[in-house]
């Protein structure tokens, strides 16, 4: 289910940004990503998203990242290591995996993350987990 088609879209104010490779929603303390089918999410695309996130949230922000994986795409897990060398604004990540393949990829990525990663089966589960993080309460 897309974020726009979920009950959360009307309950949680957000700004929508569309890239050629996917759509991102910036909520109060959550960034929701929905990447397009078949793309390779590489460092150039990551930097485009980071630039938009920084423009939206300003200086010294902390957010949770929610990857809503309705589509299959590729990313090199090593990029998480590179990301954490340069950036520290993500306090936790929730990954909604709609099939076994995405769940296994999320498990692999979890090993490369320096923050908590929760693998979820639904968007509701992911948003509930993020909203209850100690970092935001």
Q: pLDDT tens, 3-44?
A: 999 999 999 999 999 999 999 999 999 999 999 999 999 999
Average pLDDT over residues 130-134: 93
Give 110 or 121, the one with higher predicted confidence: 121
Rounded to two decimals, the pTM is: 0.92
pLDDT at 58: 92
Phi-psi region of 114 (alpha: psi -120 to 50; beta: other; left: phi over 0): alpha
- What does the alpha-carbon distance between residue 105 and residue 60 come to, in Å, rounded to a whole number? 30
Q: Which helix (H) or strand (E) holds 113?
A: none
Q: Is the pLDDT reported for residue 86 higher than 80?
A: yes
Average pLDDT over the chain reads: 91
Q: Locate the DSSP E strands across the chain.
A: 15-19, 22-26, 30-35, 63-69, 90-97, 116-120
Average pLDDT over residues 65-86: 87
Record: fold of 7-136: Transcription Regulator spoIIAA (3.30.750)
pLDDT at 81: 80
């Amino acid at each position: 289910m897309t974020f726009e088609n979920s009950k959360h879209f009307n309950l949680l104010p957000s700004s929508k940004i569309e890239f050629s490779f996917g759509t991102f929603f910036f909520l109060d303390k959550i960034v929701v990503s929905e990447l397009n089918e078949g793309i390779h999410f590489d460092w150039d695309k990551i930097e485009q998203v980071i630039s938009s996130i920084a423009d939206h949230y300003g200086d010294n922000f902390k957010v949770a990242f929610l990857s809503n994986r309705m589509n299959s795409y590729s990313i090199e897990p090593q990029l998480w290591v590179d990301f954490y060398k340069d950036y520290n604004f993500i306090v936790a990540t929730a990954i909604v995996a709609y099939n076994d393949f995405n769940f296994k990829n999320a498990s692999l990525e979890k090993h490369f993350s320096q923050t908590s990663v929760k693998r979820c089966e639904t968007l509701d589960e992911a948003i509930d987990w993020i909203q209850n993080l100690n970092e935001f309460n």
